[in-house]
A and B are shown apart, each in its own frame.
Chain A
Amino acid sequence: MDIIVCIKQVPDTNDVRIDEKKGTLIREGVPSIINPDDKHAIEEALRIREKEGGKITILTMGPPQADDALRESLAMGADEAILLSDRAFAGSDTWATAYSIARAVNAIGKFDLIICGRQAIDGDTAQVGPQLAESLELPQVTYARKVEISGDKAVIERALEDGHETLETSLPAVITVIGDLNEPRYPTIKGIVTAYRDKEVGKMTAADLNADEAKIGLKGSPTQVKKTFVMVPKREGELIEGTAKEAAGTLIERLQDKNVLR
């Protein structure tokens, strides 16, 4: 079972500070880490490998310093790591990112499963995993909280807001995972030494992808960030009690009172 895990290096902070003028995240002085959901993706791959054997390749798209995130993944026990890095990717939105990663996956070639974290703590879009699946024309299961491999199929418990559903998918497939799935292991001292002294991080640039230039970077990004800001809740929310029918009735009344509905 060969697994590709897609990760992202993100700034380690839960209350990200924002440069109001530029509308971008302030990264200076903030240490970089592997995105937390992605660590669960790595852990799941390691657990699957322990049972099924095979090889784990970690893939990330990012600036050269994303090498640190890949080394940490290797220290946790991954077999190989690839850094997809090129100025041509600058300004990529989730669509262009997913396209670029899909091309990189094709360049890697052989795999049975792709695991991604649900979403990154810096962007919180949860889009790249699903878009990657679409780009590769593979089945996808998102919000996985339990993964069982049986032969050429995977049985996955998928978390929903009010419960879960169990899905079976053929392989290869793309899975995005949530934190409830597992407890990521710590890298070992030996693993750290091996990751820095004995292992190589593979490099890929835009030229290696055989990609359509119009589909990568800023040019390939249909969305652009206009402004980044922290949402400040101005009013308290209210939960309307009652059965669905009663609550809907109350909601319609309220909206009518405010002239939203007539």
Chain B
Amino acid sequence: MDFQLTKEQRLVQQTVRDFAEKEVAPLAQEIDQEGRFPRETVPKLAKLGLLGMMTDPKYGGGGVDSVSYTIAVEEVSKACATTGVLMSVNNSLVCHPLEKFGTESQKEQYLGPVARGERLGAFGLTEPGAGTDAGSQRSVAVKEGDEYIINGSKVFISNAEAAETFVIFVLTDPTAGARGISAFIVEREFPGFSVGKVEDKMGIRGNGAAELFFEDMAVPADNLLGQEGKGFKIAMGTLDGGRIGIASQAVGIAQAAMEESVKYSQEREQFGKAISKFQAIQWMLADMATEIAASRHLVRKAAYIKDSGKPYSVAAAMAKLMASDVAVRVTRDAIQVHGGYGYIKDYTVERLYRDAKITELYEGTSEVQRMVIAGSLLR
């Protein structure tokens, strides 16, 4: 058993940390306040190779392992959670299914540009009536000749504001329930495709989450990803990997909150001394450090299992369940350490608390993670 990062992973960490501090962190507050998608950051992420990290280099990816990926998402999220999820969606929810389930020509046409960051990706599963119950899709594809005509809509789709390549899930057989769902690759330019209003959210305010509308959208039959009826399986398999990304994001947010708290508690004086001298503060800091370390271990363990080619659904669910819970608790306590100042927007922890909450909701709520974990126990 070896808890050491490899030299390669350490250089990824050092490089992404340096990049995130200089290029990502300075924009975080503005992106949050304006609810603005960080378009200018996308080419920078692309240049470093952060948008297709695990993708095979022959399609323009970086070819690193999932552990390096968790490290990179953590570092970017520590600087800006919005940018962290932008990256996680592109890597985990778009590059991954395209590479795993795509045909060679689909990979050439779609995976390459997304992995190289030339076209941003998004993942369209959630519908107004299909959240946790993702199998209850309403959007429908009807095959006509060598095309599918798709009608329907999606909600809360991260990256939608700026994305150009979408992996979406719709019913090809409305009578078959979850087994009637199929995955398609669609482009923003397809006639009948449109992006609705960008949601005004509590946190990760710049991630461009929006509705998607499909009105008699003609999609070439070649754009079916995987087989007809296998869409639900593709979606669930993809989300397993996505959860590792979101868990990494949660660790990054929590780490940022802890570092802010350590710094502030040493500067802030009450009763004639720094508040870090009080046990009440020290205990909160100690709990933060412990819980973050435990979460990070679960995240890297899940990534390690994925890299070794074994089933990792449960490990990913545990990592996300714990890391998201810890992110919310640590950011809440970080505000407590800051007192009234932590409630003011000038202080980073105010944003971190709002950003943390989403990690308990998207890519499977904490309840869904518990369902996955319990399911593995009660077989």
Contact = CB atoms under 8 A, between A and B. Distances in A.
Interface of A: 31, 68, 71-72, 75, 186-193, 195-197
Interface of B: 6-8, 11-12, 14-15, 18-19, 47-50, 53, 57, 61-64, 68, 72
B15 A192 contact: yes
B7 to A, nearest CB: 6
B7 A188 contact: no
Given A189-B72, A193-B64, 15 more contacts: A72-B14, A186-B15, A186-B18, A186-B19, A188-B48, A189-B53, A189-B63, A189-B64, A190-B57, A190-B62, A192-B15, A193-B57, A193-B62, A193-B63, A196-B11
Across the A-B interface, the 10 shortest Cβ-Cβ residue pairs: A189-B62, A189-B49, A196-B8, A188-B49, A187-B15, A192-B11, A190-B49, A190-B62, A186-B19, A193-B63
State the majority secondary structure of interface residues on B. Answer: helix
Contacts of B8: 192-193, 196-197
A193 B58 CA distance: 14
A191 B19 CA distance: 15
Contacts of B61: 190
Chain A at the B interface: mostly helix, strand, loop or mixed? Answer: helix
Contacts of B49: 188-191
Nearest to B47: A188
B69 to A, nearest CB: 9
Contact of A189 (B14, B18, B48): B48
Contacts of A195: 11
Nearest to A188: B49
Contact of B7 (A68, A186, A187, A189): A68
Nearest to B62: A189
B11 A71 contact: yes
Contacts of A188: 47-49, 62
A72 B53 CA distance: 18
Given A193-B62, A193-B63, A187 B57 contact: no
Contacts, number: 52
Contacts of A193: 8, 57, 62-64
B7 A71 contact: yes
A196 B48 contact: no
Nearest to B8: A196
Contacts of B15: 75, 186-187, 192
Given A188-B47, A190-B57, A190-B62, A68 B19 contact: no
Contacts of B64: 189, 192-193
A36 B15 CA distance: 14
Contacts of B7: 68, 71, 196
Contacts of B14: 31, 72
A14 B6 CA distance: 27
Given A68-B7, A71-B7, A196-B7, A189 B12 contact: yes
Nearest to B11: A192
14 contacts: A68-B7, A71-B11, A72-B11, A75-B15, A187-B15, A188-B49, A189-B48, A189-B63, A190-B61, A190-B62, A190-B63, A192-B64, A193-B64, A196-B11
Nearest to B19: A186
Contacts of A68: 7, 11
A224 B45 CA distance: 47
Contact of B48 (A31, A71, A186, A197): A186
A68 B11 CA distance: 8
A61 to B, nearest CB: 20
A75 B14 CA distance: 12
Contacts of B53: 189
B50 to A, nearest CB: 7
B121 to A, nearest CB: 17
A191 B12 CA distance: 10
B238 to A, nearest CB: 21
A192 B47 CA distance: 13
Nearest to B60: A190
A197 B63 CA distance: 11
A233 B326 CA distance: 47
Contacts of A197: 8
Contacts of A190: 49, 57, 61-63
With most chain B CB atoms within 10 A of its CB, the pick from A31, A193, A196 is: A193
B136 to A, nearest CB: 38
A188 B62 CA distance: 8
Nearest to B69: A189
Nearest to B65: A193
A217 to B, nearest CB: 28
- Give the most central of A187, A188, A189, A190: most B CB within 10 Å: A189
A192 B18 contact: no
A187 B6 CA distance: 17
A77 B14 CA distance: 17
Contacts of B47: 186, 188
A31 B5 CA distance: 15
A5 to B, nearest CB: 18
B356 to A, nearest CB: 27
A192 B19 contact: no
A14 to B, nearest CB: 15
A31 B17 CA distance: 14
A100 B63 CA distance: 38
